[in-house]
């Protein structure tokens, strides 16, 4: 096996994490049809807070990691600025050298706190791959495939209760698709994307208690295709529509509980399959010709056309379109904004990937920093996502400024 095949095999193992479970039965095998995209690491939740609630965050209270979930929330952030560092050992049941590192933060602009500038940098390492040379005279080589992205965003309040945000992102993916033994140099694939989002929050009085109700949306990774193998293998970015709502209510003095729900759908057209064109009234040659025509159209389809196509192109019709919707349900308890307990559940249909897991987490905050941790428990026994850990360390700029101010 050459090194290209090794990288491809590793990449498939990483992203088809539940494929063995989903293909255990013949009827499931026939219907298994996940949406295929490039740079799948863009869909991994970077921070421990959102991950501990079942991978949600489009409508939760703003924090330093809102760049991923909903950047328009920054305009409603309580602090003038914050920065966060997150680390996730990924697929630790399979390998020990794959990880996601993420840095994110924001800073409020002006004196009225109505707008904010934000940025994030993520780096996803696929570990170290040692290649087998095709000839005995060749020495083994080592590859370090990775994916990374850098983005910058701007958010602004449009009213006392509503804000919008926009993010511009540069993406680079280097999976080592080359044949250095033949003299070809390994080149990565670049892409550009943008996010657009909105956030609404209000404080209704229920009984004698002031509660908080929020809802939000985020369309992320709207952009160019990422072209591997010198443009021979273009892939759609994981353009995603996220909708969500959150409701916070006080349990007692200093005790609050928030319950949140997120819905997700990839805005990417389904890749054609030969079996969808086979029927009793067609010859094998006719079915193959129709399939090849459909595959060529899919490969040449523009990302914007693909977004609209993604709502109506499922082979199974409207029923299969509904299967493409993933949902997350989570809760967060906090005591005086200092101690946090979280739990959640993420669901993806078995025919679309079968990622289903519970998550729990906790956090502890001081004036200057907050430490969060999350732990994932997959419901499928064979899932390599089981026992995934995440850690986030957040620094509050207002707290740091007050700390150094007191020292002076």
The full set of domain ranges for the chain reads: 3-270+310-407
On the question of pLDDT at 207 being above 60, the answer is yes
Name the residue among 311, 369, 373, 370 with its Cα closest to residue 343.
373
Average pLDDT taken over every residue of the chain: 85
**Average pLDDT in the 363-374 region?**
93
On the question of pLDDT at 184 being above 70, the answer is no
| Distance from C-alpha of 217 to C-alpha of 196, rounded to nearest angstrom | 8
User: What global pTM score does this model have?
Assistant: 0.86
Beta partners for 227? 234
Pairing label, strands 240-252, 255-266: antiparallel
**Average pLDDT in the 203-215 region?**
94
pLDDT at 25: 45
pLDDT at 24: 39
Beta partners for 335? 255, 339
Burial per residue of 197-208, b for 16 or more beta-carbon CB atoms within 10 angstroms, e otherwise: bbbbbeeeeeee
**Average pLDDT in the 266-271 region?**
94
**Average pLDDT in the 293-321 region?**
91
| Distance from C-alpha of 70 to C-alpha of 219, rounded to nearest angstrom | 9
pLDDT at 139: 62
- Hey, what CATH topology would domain 3-270+310-407 get? Porin (2.40.160)
Query: Which pLDDT band holds residue 19 (cuts at 50, 70, 90)?
Result: very low
| Distance from C-alpha of 78 to C-alpha of 71, rounded to nearest angstrom | 14
pLDDT at 185: 46
Percent of the chain with pLDDT over 70: 83
Own/partner pairs, 15-18, CB within 8 angstroms, 24+ separation: 15/40, 17/91, 17/353, 17/355, 17/383, 17/384, 17/385, 18/350, 18/353, 18/354, 18/355, 18/380, 18/382, 18/383, 18/385
**Average pLDDT in the 92-98 region?**
81
**Residue 288 or 18, more confident:** 288
Query: Which pLDDT band holds residue 386 (cuts at 50, 70, 90)?
Result: confident
The DSSP code for 120 is E
**Residue 1 or 337, more confident:** 337
Beta partners for 41? none
pLDDT at 260: 97
pLDDT at 135: 54
Percent of the chain with pLDDT over 90: 59
**Average pLDDT in the 347-373 region?**
92
Query: Which pLDDT band holds residue 408 (cuts at 50, 70, 90)?
Result: low
Over the stretch 124-155, which tens digit does the pLDDT of each residue have? 998 877 766 555 555 666 778 899 999 999 99
pLDDT at 1: 39
On the question of pLDDT at 305 being above 60, the answer is yes
On the question of pLDDT at 5 being above 60, the answer is no
**Average pLDDT in the 147-176 region?**
95
On the question of pLDDT at 402 being above 60, the answer is yes
């Amino acid at each position: 096996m050459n090194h290209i095949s090794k990288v491809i095999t590793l990449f498939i193992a990483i992203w088809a994490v539940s494929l063995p479970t989903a293909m255990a039965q013949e009827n499931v095998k026939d219907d298994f049809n996940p949406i295929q995209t490039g740079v799948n690491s863009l869909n991994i939740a970077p921070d421990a807070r959102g991950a501990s609630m079942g991978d949600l965050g489009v409508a939760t209270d703003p924090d330093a990691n809102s760049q991923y979930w909903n950047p328009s929330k920054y305009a409603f952030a309580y602090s003038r600025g914050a920065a966060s560092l997150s680390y996730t050992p990924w697929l630790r049941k399979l390998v020990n050298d794959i990880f996601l590192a993420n840095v994110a933060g924001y800073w409020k602009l002006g004196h009225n706190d109505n707008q904010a500038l934000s940025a994030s940098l993520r780096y996803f390492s696929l570990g170290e791959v040692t290649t087998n040379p095709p000839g005995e005279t060749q020495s083994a080589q080592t590859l370090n495939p990775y994916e990374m992205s850098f983005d910058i965003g701007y958010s602004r309040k449009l009213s006392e209760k509503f804000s919008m945000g926009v993010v511009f992102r540069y993406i680079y993916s280097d999976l080592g698709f080359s044949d250095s033994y033949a003299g070809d140099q390994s080149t990565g694939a670049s892409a550009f994307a943008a996010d657009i989002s909105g956030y609404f929050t209000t404080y209704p009085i229920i009984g004698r208690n002031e509660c908080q109700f929020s809802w939000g949306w985020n369309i992320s990774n709207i952009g160019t295709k990422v072209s591997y193998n010198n443009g021979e293998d273009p892939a759609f970015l994981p353009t995603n529509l996220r909708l969500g709502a959150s409701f916070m209510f006080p349990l007692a003095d200093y005790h609050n509980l928030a319950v949140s729900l997120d819905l997700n759908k990839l805005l990417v057209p389904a890749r054609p399959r030969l079996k969808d064109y086979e029927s009793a009234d067609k010859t094998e040659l006719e079915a193959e010709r129709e399939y090849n025509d459909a595959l060529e159209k899919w490969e040449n389809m523009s990302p914007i056309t693909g977004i609209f196509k993604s709502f109506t192109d499922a082979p199974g019709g409207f029923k299969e379109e509904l299967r493409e919707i993933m949902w997350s349900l989570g809760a967060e308890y906090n005591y005086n904004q200092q101690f946090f307990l979280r739990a959640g559940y993420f669901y993806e249909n078995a025919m679309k990937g079968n990622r289903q897991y519970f998550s729990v987490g906790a956090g502890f905050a001081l004036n200057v920093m907050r430490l969060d941790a999350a732990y994932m428990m997959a419901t499928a026994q064979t899932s390599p996502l089981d026992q995934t850990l995440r850690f986030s360390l957040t620094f509050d700029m207002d707290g740091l400024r007050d700390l150094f101010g007191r020292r002076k």
